[in-house]
């Protein structure tokens, strides 16, 4: 499929059905009780979900029909494994499963070869992450994943890093009014005389933030916590964390 067409894998995407959340949950109950017709209706009713995910990978030069089919596998897995006891929307679980399946496909077809043992460890780590996320309704830390797997944190990190898809130097990272910044623009020389000036400017910009903004940025970017985790620790809503984070970054950008 190309972006200016409405057919993918022979499916007319303009005519794909959609389901309400209440319909989805009712069909999920029936499908997990063995109702094949309900399962088929669920798949058909969520193909738009697959399409929306696939479009995020449109600029990678991959065959979109292939990605759509792979995404459908993730969709089917999510339908079969969704826990109806959790108080979450189906799409909250389904979208990461579809994305994960596509990413696994892209990694397996990557021209850079990674050893089988590393790949197996990485996939087990991703499965463990999904399991812990579903169990605790929050994203686990690397330490928690490693502990559950009975492995060293360093080995888990190494395996996950080994299967990360390489990023092109010409990958856009920011665009504003046609002024695009690429990855290569962000790659600097540690011996550059301007680096220490940039560091000073950055430290001054951060020092101008209030204590709450500093704490949020520290938790988000130095400790790697999610906005939900930061919200729980700081005692505010996730929406407030998002707003304060964006505001703080905008201040830093303006000062620098």
- Given a contact cutoff of 8 angstroms between Cβ atoms, the answer to whether 173 and 219 are in contact is no
| pLDDT at residue 144 in the model | 92
- Binned at pLDDT 50, 70 and 90, residue 110 comes out as low
Beta-carbon-side half-sphere exposure of residue 116 (alpha carbons within 13 Å): 0
Kindly tell me the sign of the dihedral angle through the C-alpha atoms of 177, 180, 186, 192: negative
Where in the sequence of the chain do the CATH 1.10.10.10 domains occur?
Answer: 113-167, 179-255
Q: Given this model, what pLDDT does residue 104 score?
A: 82
User: Whole-angstrom Cα distance, residue 33 to residue 46?
Assistant: 19
73-77, 179-183, 185-189 — most confident range: 73-77
pLDDT, one tens digit per residue, over 186-198 is 555 555 545 555 5
pLDDT of residue 202: 66
Q: Please check the confidence at residue 178 and state whether its pLDDT lies above 80.
A: no
Rounded to an integer, the average pLDDT of 34-56 is 88
Length of the chain: 256
For 55-84, give the secondary structure using H, E and C.
HHHHHHCCCHHHHHHHHHHHHHHHHHHCCC
For 113-167, which CATH class?
mainly alpha
Q: How far apart are CA 241 and CA 244, in angstroms?
A: 5
User: Which fold, 179-255?
Assistant: Arc Repressor Mutant, subunit A (1.10.10)
Of 174-183, 202-211, 238-247, the one with minimum mean pLDDT is: 174-183
Domain covering 1-109: architecture:
Up-down Bundle (1.20)
- Token pair of 76 as six digits: 């089917």
180 beta partners: 175
* 1 confidence band (pLDDT: 50, 70, 90): very low
pLDDT at residue 176 is higher than 70: no
Cβ contacts of 117 within 8 Å, gap of 6 or more? none
């Amino acid at each position: 499929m190309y972006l200016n067409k409405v057919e993918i894998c022979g499916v007319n995407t303009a005519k794909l059905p959609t389901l309400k959340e209440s319909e989805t949950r009712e069909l999920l109950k029936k499908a997990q009780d063995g109702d094949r017709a309900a399962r088929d209706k669920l798949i058909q009713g969520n193909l738009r979900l697959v399409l929306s995910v696939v479009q995020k990978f449109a600029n990678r030069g991959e065959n979109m029909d292939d990605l759509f089919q792979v995404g459908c596998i993730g969709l089917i897995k999510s339908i079969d494994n969704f826990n109806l006891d959790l108080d979450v929307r189906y799409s909250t679980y389904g979208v990461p499963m579809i994305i994960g399946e596509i990413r696994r496909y892209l990694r397996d077809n990557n021209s850079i070869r990674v050893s089988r043992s590393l790949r197996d460890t990485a996939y087990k780590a991703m499965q463990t992450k999904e399991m812990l996320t579903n169990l605790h309704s929050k994203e686990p830390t690397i330490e928690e994943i490693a502990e559950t797997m009975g492995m060293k944190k360093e080995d888990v990190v190494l395996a996950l890093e080994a299967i990360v898809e390489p990023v092109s130097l010409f990958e856009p990272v920011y665009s504003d009014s046609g002024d695009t910044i690429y990855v290569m623009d962000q790659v600097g020389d540690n011996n550059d005389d301007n680096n220490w000036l940039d560091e000073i400017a950055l430290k001054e910009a951060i020092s101008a933030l209030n204590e709450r903004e500093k704490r949020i940025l520290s938790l988000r970017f130095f400790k790697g916590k999610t906005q939900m985790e930061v919200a729980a620790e700081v005692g505010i809503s996730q929406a407030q964390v998002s707003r304060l984070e964006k505001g703080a970054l905008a201040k830093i950008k303006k000062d620098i």
